[in-house]
Amino acid sequence: MEAKNILRELARGRMITNITVAAIILALLTIGIGSLYSETLSYYRETLSTFMMLFSVVLGLNIILGYTGYVSFGHAVFFGIGGYTAMVLMYYYGVNVYLAMIIAALAAMAAAQAIGFIVLRLRGAYFAIATIAVLEAFRVIVSNVEYLGGSEGLQLEASYYTGYSIAGYRGQMSVHYIAYFLLLGTVTLGLLLNLYVSRSQFGAGLRAIREDEDAAEAIGINTWKFKTLAYVLSSITPALAGAIIAWKRNIVLPEEFFSLTLSIESIISVMLGGAGTVLGTVTGTAIYHTVKTIFLTSFPSLHLIIFGITIAFIAEVLPMGIIGWLRLMSTRLRFLLE
Amino acid sequence: MSVVLRVENVYKSFGGVKALEGVSMTVNEGMILGLIGPNGAGKTTLFNVITGYYKPDKGRVELFGRDVTGWPTHKIAQLGVARTFQIPKPFPDLTVFENVLVSIKFSSRKLSEQEAAEEAKRILEFLGLDSHAHMLASQLNVALEKRLELARALARQPRLLLLDEVLAGLNPSEVAYMLEKIKRAKQEFGLTIVMIEHVMHAVMNIADRIVVLHLGKKLAEGTPEEIARDPRVIEAYLGDPKLALAFVERLSSKKR
């Protein structure tokens, strides 16, 4: 294949991804606006909010796990840091959710820089275990700090919400709607970050690190700087989602915000769709979330079984994930599926 | 002629193992230096010290007239140094084309995407890898893997190329092919090359100068002819020089 044909196929692939991403965002936006005026759509608003919460963590995780190859097993730590930072600001200082989100994201980025300074020295399974340890450490510490509400968490008063309104809904009535759009904004940012990583020189460097870190150094890549930046970027959307969910649920609890379950769910979603692909993040999260929702409603006590089944399925049949597997089918698909 | 690489009195030990004990050498521009020595002599350790994977305990490394002792690997690479690995380290889940492309992207050249892709094609053609361009690197056999290592190193358009046993495990025709490519690459890109090699006839054939390492020390240095006749070298490789010489003579008489 000639160089210019390769570039043409790549450009075509990028166009397909752009259209898919735009379609997803538009669809979510339409449903969100629709739910403001139609009662029947409010069920979808809630299930899609849960989907977008998971998707926000997945989009962050994909940068460090998918592109850089570092299995951040406790990635919900940034969800927790975001949630708690926002809650402290809202609870003690009455800060509005928008500013709280921004500060939460900055706090998570600073935390990622600091945590990364230690854990990014480790590779492979040791890194994964260290990130679980970090998550657990945060959970235990937060449970024991009175300022952060200890194991009871912090809860916002109903009066806190009086200032919020959207399309005629006021106060607490407006929260679920506003949260939906904030989550959509977070997901949009996450998709843009993933597209940037996928197409930039920075992302090419991350892939090289994933494939072989020593060889990546040998071709002139500052692997320490690259992976630290990847880790910092990967903390943004989980933190934003954490802040939004804290505000939406009006409470933060250590087990729910520093949650190993959420960490594992996001790993499953990334792996199922295809780590290190943009389309895979959507595919994996959508499938996982749908299956989980069906199980939760039909067999509530058994739904955790799908964890095990999905992990076994991925490991045995689709180690590259759905999109990753399709990309292996032919050279053409490799170029077309980003 | 300017000095590309100067290693001065380098020491490196790992726990109780003294891998390098006061090694010095100088590599001039445009030369091919062969680095030989028995297993465990410290050849790869020396490469790792030069490229910044290891910091020497003592001594200094100079590249292109700059003291780079203790520099990180990527900064040394950015000076124009490329290397291959003894055990090939391709990017396994990237295609052959992508392997070379990423190397071009991180070289000092500023190329457009189109130019970079064309350059990648050109290098793959040069090493006869173009028909495998869209295979995953993990699917290559040893011979092709070695070529990919060389391709990825050349893609950086380096000034100094460090080859760590690129001929190991190849059959005679593949060895001849690689030697030919290394010679041509040297001419086309104006390279200076240091190569670690166990395939004696190859390194004797291609190198301008040879350094022999033995147990972390420099045992001998000279032209290939001088080295081939040096009894210390024969001893290091084969043990007792008298026995070794007798062995070599018997071998060559059998051939006749």
CATH number of the domain to which B169 belongs:
3.40.50.300
pLDDT tens across A149-165, in order? 999 999 999 999 998 99
Label residue B243 by pLDDT band (50, 70, 90).
low
Q: Which of A6, A202, A219 to mutate to test the interface with B (most CBs of B within 10 A)?
A: A219
pLDDT tens across B141-167, in order? 999 999 999 999 999 999 999 999 999
Apex CA A125: angle with CA A124 and CA A130, to 5°?
Answer: 105
d(CA B222, CA A20): 64
The interface predicted TM-score (ipTM) is 0.88
Type of residue found at A153:
G
Number of domains in chain B: 1
What residues of chain B have any CB closer than 8 angstroms to a CB in chain A?
51, 53, 72-75, 77-78, 82-83, 85, 89-95, 97, 101-103, 105-108, 113-114, 117-118, 120-121, 133-134, 136, 152, 156
d(CA B123, CA B142): 19
pLDDT tens across A179-207, in order? 999 999 999 999 999 999 999 999 999 99
pLDDT tens across B13-70, in order? 998 899 999 999 999 999 999 999 888 889 999 999 999 999 999 999 999 999 999 9
CATH class of segment(s) A3-259: mainly alpha
Give A 218-257 residues with CB within 8 A of chain B.
218-224
Interacting residues of A329 by C-beta distance below 8 A, sequence separation 6+:
none
Q: What residue spans define the domains of chain A?
A: 3-259
Q: What is the pLDDT of residue A4?
A: 81
Domain that holds residue B80: 3-86+156-222
Does residue B53 lie within any of the structural domains? Answer: yes
Does residue B256 lie within any of the structural domains? Answer: no
Does residue B236 lie within any of the structural domains? Answer: no
Facing A218 at nearest CB: one of B51, B97, B105: B51
Q: Which residues of A touch B44 (CB under 8 A)?
A: none
Q: How far is CA B145 from CA A312, B47, B121, B135, B167, in A?
A: 32, 20, 17, 12, 11
Cβ atoms of B148 and B120 within 8 Å: the answer is no
SS (H, E, C) chain A: CCHHHHHHHHHHHHHHHHHHHHHHHHHHHHHHHHHHHCCCCHHHHHHHHHHHHHHHHHHHHHHHHHHCCCCCCCCHHHHHHHHHHHHHHHHHHCCCHHHHHHHHHHHHHHHHHHHHHHHCCCCHHHHHHHHHHHHHHHHHHHHHCHHHCHHHCEECCHHHHHHCEECCEECHHHHHHHHHHHHHHHHHHHHHHHHHHHHCHHHHHHHHHHHCHHHHHHCCCCHHHHHHHHHHHHCHHHHHHHHHHHHHHCEECHHHHCCHHHHHHHHHHHHHHCCCCHHHHHHHHHHHHHHHHHHHHHCHHHCCHHHHHHHHHHHHCCCCHHHHHHHHHCHHHHHHCC
- A208 to chain B: closest CA residue: B91
Chain B nearest-CA distance from A120, in A, is 17
d(CA B77, CA B72): 9
Cβ atoms of A270 and A66 within 8 Å: the answer is yes
pLDDT of residue B256 exceeding 70: no
Percent of chain B having pLDDT more than 70? 92
Eight-state DSSP code of residue B166: T
| pTM, two decimal places | 0.92
Q: What is the pLDDT of residue B140?
A: 94
Does residue B68 lie within any of the structural domains? Answer: yes
Q: Which of B78, B86, B93, B160 to mutate to test the interface with A (most CBs of A within 10 A)?
A: B93
Cβ atoms of B167 and B143 within 8 Å: the answer is no
Q: What is the pLDDT of residue B248?
A: 58
Angle, helices A172-199 vs A278-298, to 10°: value is 140
User: Across residues A70-77, what is the average pLDDT?
Assistant: 96
Interacting residues of A162 by C-beta distance below 8 A, sequence separation 6+:
A170, A171
Q: Do the Cβ atoms of B156 and A220 come within 8 Å? A: yes
Give SS3 for B79.
coil
pLDDT tens across A221-278, in order? 999 999 999 999 999 999 999 999 999 999 999 999 999 999 999 999 999 999 999 9
Does residue B7 lie within any of the structural domains? Answer: yes
Q: What is the pLDDT of residue A295?
A: 82
